[in-house]
Structure 1
Amino acid sequence: MVERQVPRPAEIFELMKFKKPELDGRKRRLESALTIYDLRNIAKRRTPAAAFDYTDGAAEGELSLARARQAFEDVEFHPGVLRDVSTVDTSTTIFGGPSAWPFGIAPTGFTRLMQTEGETAGAGAAGAAGIPFTLSTLGTTSIEAVKAANPQGRNWFQLYVMRQREISYGLVERAAKAGFDTLFFTVDTPVAGARLRDKRNGFSIPPQLTPKTILNAIPRPWWWWDFLTTPKLEFASLSATGGTVGELLDAAMDPSIDYEDLETIRGMWPGKLVIKGVQTLHDAKRLADLGVDGIVLSNHGGRQLDRAPIPFHLLPDVAREIGKDVDVVVDTGIMHGADIVASLALGAKFTLVGRAYLYGLMAGGREGVDRAIAILQEQIVRTMKLLQVSNVAELEPRHVTQLRRLEPREL
């Protein structure tokens, strides 16, 4: 029999510690987020549907995005044992420069529509974390303002070669003058993908008010207050901004770009030149033969060609064939630090996160971006320690098996 007694109040307080309430609503929300999906849920509650769906959505049936995320979930890790992992080194070198972590912030368009701090929050958070920030041609903050927000960190610029070539060439010159060290030449956007959520929401630049959007805005007054009381949106390249996102993209993009444009841009750019949007081994090998500094395996976050190849599935073959000659980077579908670790193990030199950063931005501005980065950092360190590797260079294909759901049919 267990002897029982009535506890004294002093003993109760020794056993039970009451948590001090957090009065700052933003801080309380962000501290409650333990995963990127948690940040996504907060972002969805706080952001009007049209802006949230622009970030969250993809092309047509959104199969490419779903498959990319599923591919990362269909991973089996193979940990070692009896290795000293009391400390781990997450730093790496990418495109000739350092990064404290094996991921950077991907280029995203129209970012201040999602949350008014936009690229300034992303660039500042990236600089504080020691990782690169990439500004999109369709970003809503100027090249010079991004440099001011991240003066000591690494800034990269993503370039669309547009119908009016002079606009693109001017952006290249401005980015070089501002000290951006790497240029991403994006090659997967001859035309805009069919982003059906945007069409159904009537998403446009500037936002159009309809009875539906007004009703959706009523429980989110803070977003509209921020939007209406902060400086007017300014795009990195576009002077005219009327119309739907698809119409803007189709007006800016040029389906005639080819390898001659690549040579022209290479002749203008003094830093590292990287090709973003590579989706086949054949193209990866050809670009490596042409001497580019890196490639990004990407299907544009599933926002262009639906049913496009899964970048994470392409990675092992591409890394095996050209990884010794060029830096291979992967994006699309990364929602967890373990996704980043798996990519490194299968040969990626680096990874890029887009939506993961934007969910944090919509959830809490600059502090939300800091939280998104911190979540990924915690997950990377924990995964590496559980795999029992002490630095990113120790990650090898033996640590990962890709469990495929979709196999090619024999012809």
Structure 2
Amino acid sequence: MVAVTVSDYRRAARRRLPPLFFEYLDGGSYSELTLARNVADMQALALRQRVMCDVSELSTEVELFGQKLALPLALGPIGFAGMFARRGEVQAAKAAARAGVPFCLSTVGICSVEEVTREAPVPPWYQLYMIRDRGYMEQLLQRVAACGCPVLVFTVDLPVAGARYRDVHSGMSSAPGLMTSLRRVWQGVTHLRWLWDVQLNGRPHVFGNIVDAVPDNSGFGSFAGWVQRNFDPTVTWDDIAWVRERWKGPIVIKGILDPEDARSAIAAGVDGLVVSNHGGRQLDGVPASVTALPDIVEIVDGKIPVLMDGGVRSGLDVLRALALGADACLLGRAWAYPLAAGGEQAVAKMLSLLRAELKVAMSLTGCTDVRKAGRELLVQRKL
């Protein structure tokens, strides 16, 4: 079957990946209520179809943090991406550059910032998790700056890891031991394409950005325990000043879901924020990102750019988010599924499909410029 939707790529990724990696990518926390809401609440937004509008010329370009983007989106940070395809972060970064959009490299990516910068046409944005060793963090920020990364995306919603029960069931978070090792080996040898592409030819399998600072660098076993041992739970808004002293470019806070936190972000002097519930992987039962978006946009009131992630599965979803006030979207699973299914070429095709879907949605709602998208594009429900 030819893949023409993110759902198609999801099915292909499920076939290709060993279960522990697919379930890690696909799953959420606890009962996965928020994971489901992210998609359901997005799709519940009805677009307002308009006719007899001149839509012969459409503009999908935006400018963010001094960069011109061909589309109002970026590939958001995803950990372990190098376990989904051979040197996965590099492949995704190349596809993003071809499409004219940014790629954001995760702190817990398999490929280092130096490797991605060397292999991809343009430097990535860099996503920061604060680990306990502040001396190493300072060195890391120097490395990121030396690579020319233009934007720092500081993710703040992981002081502890949410309970991801799928990871226990799949073997990702099983207790170490002979049976766990045998189970993982069996999953690998029964997925031969992945075994050849990633396990045998995609080494080294370490977190390239923090390999020198984190002793148990694999992150396997209990992910929650790994986070507890290595991430810094003492981080507060005061630490923005610490980061600002060591980073001169734009700082974007990712993980805002409450209007009060949006106020705090603005007061801390950040340059942008991402409305996000971590893809439904942290606190289950919270609102969908798209549901939280309007109140945060109102608080921000144009002072800084507002991005959003969670539940974006099509170009129509991108337009829905823009209509509610987002300046752009971060894609997560929407690029990781095609990466797992077919590497760089599949990610590039997915971005091309999203571009086409976005243009169709713009044409049929009478929106000729994504920068002018507003609530007039949505059907307003009567109370």
- SS across alignment from 1:398: helix
Q: Give the paired residue count.
A: 374
Matches within 5 A, 1:135-284: 135-151=105-121, 153=122, 155-203=124-172, 210-226=181-197, 227-235=199-207, 236-239=209-212, 240=215, 241-242=217-218, 243-244=220-221, 245-284=223-262
Instruction: Identify which of 282, 285, 289 aligns with 1:311.
Output: 289
Distance apart, 1:246 and its partner CA: 2.5
8 Å contact kept, 1:122–1:366: yes
User: 1:367, CA displacement in angstroms?
Assistant: 1.1
Task: Check conservation: 1:74, 1:403, Cα contact below 8 A.
Answer: no
Cα distance in 1 for residues equivalent to 2:358 and 2:32: 27
Report the Cα offset of residue 260 of structure 1: 2.1
User: Percent identity, aligned pairs only?
Assistant: 35
**Structure 1 residue 368: Cα displacement:** 1.4
> Where does residue 358 of structure 2 map in the other structure?
380
Q: Give the AA of the match of 2:71.
A: W
Structure 1 letter corresponding to 2:91: A
Structure 1: gaps spanning 5 or more residues? 1-28
Shift in alpha-carbon separation, 1:207–1:180, aligned structure 2, 3 A: farther
SS of aligned partner of 1:309: coil
Q: Distance in 1 between matches of 2:265 and 2:101?
A: 26
Question: What amino acid sits opposite 1:93 in the alignment?
Answer: E
The SS at the match of 1:259 is coil
Paired with 1:173 and 1:102, the residues of 2 have a C-alpha distance of 29
CA 1:163–1:202: 2 relative to 1, 3 Å: same
Asked if the contact 2:110/2:206 (under 8 Å) is kept, the reply is yes
2 CA distance for matches of 1:316 and 1:373? 26
Partner of 1:92: 62
Distance in 2 between residues matched to 1:44 and 1:98, nearest whole Å = 34
Q: Which stretches of structure 1, 4 residues or longer, exceed 3 Å deviation after superposition?
A: 204-219, 401-404
- 1:41 aligns to 2:11 (yes or no): yes
1:154: how far off?
A: 5.3
Note the C-alpha offset of 1:218: 4.6
How far residue 230 of structure 1 moved from its aligned partner, in angstroms, is 3.1
Cα-Cα RMSD: 2.2
Paired residues for 1:324-363 under 5 Å: 324-363=302-341
Change (3 A) 1:387 1:207: farther
CA distance in 1, matches of 2:277, 2:192: 35
Distance 1:37 1:49 in 2: 17
Distance 1:144 1:190 in 2: 26
How high is the TM-score relative to the length of structure 1? 0.86
Would the aligned equivalents of 1:143 and 1:178 in 2 still touch at CA under 8 Å?
yes
Secondary structure of the structure 2 residue equivalent to 1:78: coil
* Helix, strand or coil at the partner of 1:75: coil
Deviations along 1:218-257, one digit per CA (max 9) or x if unpaired, are 5421111221233212311134325422222222212111
Comparing 197-206 and 272-281, the one that deviates more: 197-206
3-state SS of 1:58 partner: coil
